[in-house]
A and B are shown apart, each in its own frame.
Chain A
Amino acid sequence: MKVTNLFRFYRLGVGKRGVVTTRYPNGPAELPAAAQCAPELTGKCDACGHCAEACPTKAIAVTTSKFTIDLGDCIYCGECARGCPKGSIVMGKNCELSARKREGLEVSYDVRQ
């Protein structure tokens, strides 16, 4: 039959991927290697403020004692990480950041000189 001939390449397994469905939310969120989520302060910081200046949405506030990122404003662009002379900001891999309150989206770190 003509129709069976037409779809014969499916029988040969062309393009077959098997199960692609992710385990999430019953397993960890598997992100691609290039994925970047919210920035995180991981190293020393001298409160120079370059990151806050570089941020297009003004999501970062830095004082000599506290470093705060408002994830409700952050667009995950990575400008802060590129702008930090100490390389202390890394783009994280945690995407599970939902909150029930607007204030719950603010993430603070103690500044280590």
Chain B
Amino acid sequence: MSGSDSELEVLGGQMKDRIRNVLGRSLAIREVDAGSCNACEVEVNALTNPIYDIERFGLHIVASPRHADAILVTGPVTRNMERGLVQSYNAMAEPRMVIAMGVCAIGGGLFRECYACHKGVGEVVPVDVYIPGCPPRPQAIIQGIMVALDKWQQRK
């Protein structure tokens, strides 16, 4: 392994330690698509590719809100997804957190005037962190997760 590779591992370890400190374990995130255009999902997928590779920090995208510490919500919350979002929120164990990703989830974005959806996640469940962008870059999502970690640390 070259010098820069091992340095990368060490630095990545620091973020891992922070997650351990704050949560006592890995951070599990459930992605909830509340009517997004799917561009946000593409960026969430990119988080686990070899370039952004969030699993090296102990950040996992999990298959159920029951397994999750936080839900990452995209989309303006359509009428059909309102119940699903509330159920996902209620299924999470405390301490839980809601991260609104993309301008749709923040305030409705381009779909603000639409009759079939809410104006953002905040109208349905309380939001803890907002990640702006349409869609937000993978780096922006990682930064949003770090802001969420700060919030957790303060709650402790």
Name A's B-contacting residues (CB within 8 A).
19-27, 29, 31, 35, 37-38, 56-57, 71-76, 95-102, 104-105
B137 proximal to A (CB < 8 A): yes
Least CB distance from A36 to B in Å reads: 10
Contact of A98 with B147 at beta-carbon distance under 8 Å, contacts A21-B51, A71-B132, A104-B130 already known? yes
B106 x A23 contact (CB < 8 A): no
Residues of B within 8 A of A22 (CB): 51-52, 139
Given A74-B103, A102-B106; A25-B142 close (CB under 8 Å)? yes
Given A74-B103, A102-B122, the answer on whether A37 and B147 have CB atoms closer than 8 Å is no
Bound complex: CA A31 to CA B140 (Å)? 11
Q: How many A-B residue pairs have CB under 8 A?
A: 103
Selected contact of B51 from candidates A20, A26, A74, CB within 8 Å = A20
Smallest CB-CB separation from B112: which chain A residue? A57
Shortest B51–chain A CB gap in Å is 5
Among A38, A56, A71, A100, max chain B CB count under 10 A is at A100
Interface size class of B (residues with CB under 8 A): 35 or more
Stretch from B11-19, B22-30, B81-89 forming part of the interface with A: B11-19
Question: Which residues of chain A are near B14, meaning CB under 8 Å?
Answer: 26
- A100 to B144: give the CA distance in the assembly, Å: 9
Bound Cα distance A73, B120 (Å): 11
**Contacts A56-B110, A98-B143; A35 near B132 (Cβ below 8 A):** no
Residues of B within 8 A of A (CB): 4-5, 8, 11-12, 14-15, 50-53, 56, 103, 106-107, 109-110, 112, 122, 127-134, 136-137, 139-140, 142-144, 146-147, 151
Contact A19 B5 (CB under 8 A): yes
Contacting residues, chain B, for A31 (C-beta < 8 A)? 137, 139
Closest chain B CB from A63 CB (angstroms): 21
Residue of A73, A74, A96, A104 touching B139 (CB-CB under 8 A):
A96
In the bound complex, do residue A97 and residue B122 qualify as a contact, i.e. CB atoms below 8 Å apart?
no
- Asked whether, in the complex, the Cβ of B8 is within 8 Å of the Cβ of A21, the reply is yes
Q: Is the CB of B15 within 8 A of A26?
A: yes
On whether the beta carbons of A98 and B107 are closer than 8 Å, the reply is no
7 smallest A-B Cβ distances: which pairs? A26-B11, A75-B134, A98-B144, A29-B139, A71-B132, A72-B106, A95-B140
Contacts of B110 in A (CB 8 A): 56-57, 75
